[in-house]
Amino acid sequence: MYVDKSIDEIRTSLDNQEVTGKQLFKEAIDKAKEMQPIYNSFVTILDEYQQTKGKTVLNEIPYALKDNFSTKNILTTGSSNILKNYVPVYDATAYRKLKEAGAVLVGKTVLDELAMGGTGTTAHTGIVRNPWDKTRLIGGSSAGSAAAVALGIVPFALGSDTGDSIRKPASFGGVVGFKPTYGRISRYGLFAFASSLDHVGTFTRNVKDTAYVVDVLKGQDEKDMTTLPDDSISYVDMLENEIKGKKLFYIKEACDIENYSDSSDEELLETLKNFHDKLDQLRKIGFEIEGVSIDKNLLNAIYPAYMTISCAEATSNNANLTGIQFGPRGEGKSINDIMFDARTKGFSELIKRRFILGSYILQKENQEKLFLNAGRIRRMIVDKINELFQTYDGMIMPTSGGIAPKFGDKTDQLSDRYLILENHMAIGNFGGFPSITIPSGFVNHMPIGINLTGRVKEDGEVLNMAYKMEEILGMKNIVAKGEKHV
């Protein structure tokens, strides 16, 4: 088996002619099919190998794409009934670049419908299970991409991240998830969810592989006006840079164990203990890490501000899903009836709830109080983080307050744990900051992760720090065994 190895190892085996691209493709699709009945990570598994001639390190390397990236002539559903038979007529730029680099697409992965949600349970093709424990979810929205990489079906996959949709499932799956600076990777051809927050990013099993993939994907794209000019840096070349003296902060309100002294949540306490133990180890290799205080009102406002902005933008972006241009046509006598029928049947409850919220937020009389105020909160949070980034090179946090939940577990959405620890990663989207999660240990036999967020445009620096951290955290290249379907 090669596809469960790192890109470096697979590259060497290809170059030494121990294995061919075609064999790798077959390995990946066979494993994908074997795992599919239990884990359900794919909407589509491809069956035809296309010979490639890319000149990059990714040539002949198999990978998976979240099913919200447009792929010409390949079904692209956004995991929604409203697009269940949609076949795009053009390629997303990220997909085109990977094709040109020689990487080989093996399948399109399941997401929470239209990338909204964090559970991996709302796709029109059913729930995605966690490779480390099938009674648990893997998180979302990029659930299938996270599971495919965690199971060792492919060495990398692409996802999209609007609030934490790469970084959260990556940590629940024990893999590396990276969302670069806003505009670093083109979003042309990615289904828009909330345009001011959407990012394209990667899943891999180690940080160097992330750098390989991002080096291929980054760069300006005339088809996406939000892309940044190319920084012409190789992130792979930066990985070995010295990190001694790099200063990091964590948010005391969310991470100090004393704040939870009356909590009986063992999982939360174990997760925080792991976090602080790991910080001590990172200090030994030269990181300077300290806790800082941030106004709790501001922290508690992250999630509501995120929901307000993202629901509003999503409602507007998805207004084209009427069943007229794309997807199954609705029934009815007038055009309004047809659209009404298509949207009623096409969207699940969660999506409808978000569109109702979004429409309400965007109503003229509510815009100032809701939409614009959420924008102001977003600005205050980003200003605060940028002020801290004048002193610190990055923010380090637990990716979550615990391990992947079991299906049906209830969360108290007003608790401190939920409001801050489960939602702080949206800060990375508010400010467009590069942000990565790397696995940091196990709690109750389930992986947990650490999240590192850096200054805008300093993607190379973030990957460099993460690369050095990964050595210490001791969870590089882990693969979940998974269960075969018998």
Query: Least distance to ligand GLN from the beta carbon of 118, Å?
Result: 3
Return the number of the residue (193 or 287) whose C-beta is nearest ligand GLN: 193
**Phi and psi angles of residue 429, each rounded to the nearest 5 degrees, phi first:** -80, -40
Which residue, 4 or 313, is less far from ligand GLN as judged by CB?
313
In the bound complex, what is the minimum distance in angstroms from residue 381's beta carbon to ligand GLN?
Answer: 16
Return the structure tokens found at 391.
């002193």
Q: What is the DSSP string of 414-428?
A: TSHIIIIITTTTHHH
Does residue 136 contact residue 129 with C-beta atoms inside 8 Å?
yes
Residue 117: CB minimum distance to ligand GLN, A: 5
* 66 a catalytic residue: yes
Q: With respect to ligand GLN, which residue has the nearer C-beta, 278 or 424? A: 424
Q: CB neighbours of 37 closer than 8 A, spacing ≥ 6?
A: 485
Question: Which positions touch ligand GLN (CB under 6 A)?
Answer: 115-118, 141, 161-165, 193, 310
Q: Indicate if 165 belongs to the active site.
A: yes
Nearest distance in Å: CB 432, ligand GLN: 14
Among the listed residues 66, 97, 179, 208, the single catalytic one is 66
319 vs 210: CA distance, rounded Å = 34
Identify any residues that bridge with 63 across adjacent strands, giving them in sequence order.
105, 156
Whole-number minimum distance, CB 449 to ligand GLN, in Å?
Answer: 16
Handedness of CA 383, 386, 390, 391 (dihedral sign): positive
Catalytic residue selected from 141, 400, 435, 440: 141
Task: Pick the closer one to ligand GLN by CB: 63 or 193.
Answer: 193
433/467 with CB nearer ligand GLN? 433
d(CA 389, CA 452): 13
**Which lies closer to ligand GLN via its Cβ, residue 31 or residue 424?**
424
3-state secondary structure of 209: helix
CB of 409 to ligand GLN, least distance (A): 16
Q: Which of 70, 165, 310, 348 is catalytic?
A: 165
DSSP letter at 184?
A: S
10 Å CB burial of residue 247 (0-12, 13-18, 19+) is middle
Alpha-carbon distances, residue 244 vs 238, 257, 291 (angstroms) = 14, 27, 18
Cis peptide before 141 (omega within 30 of 0): yes
Residues annotated as part of the active site: 66, 141, 165
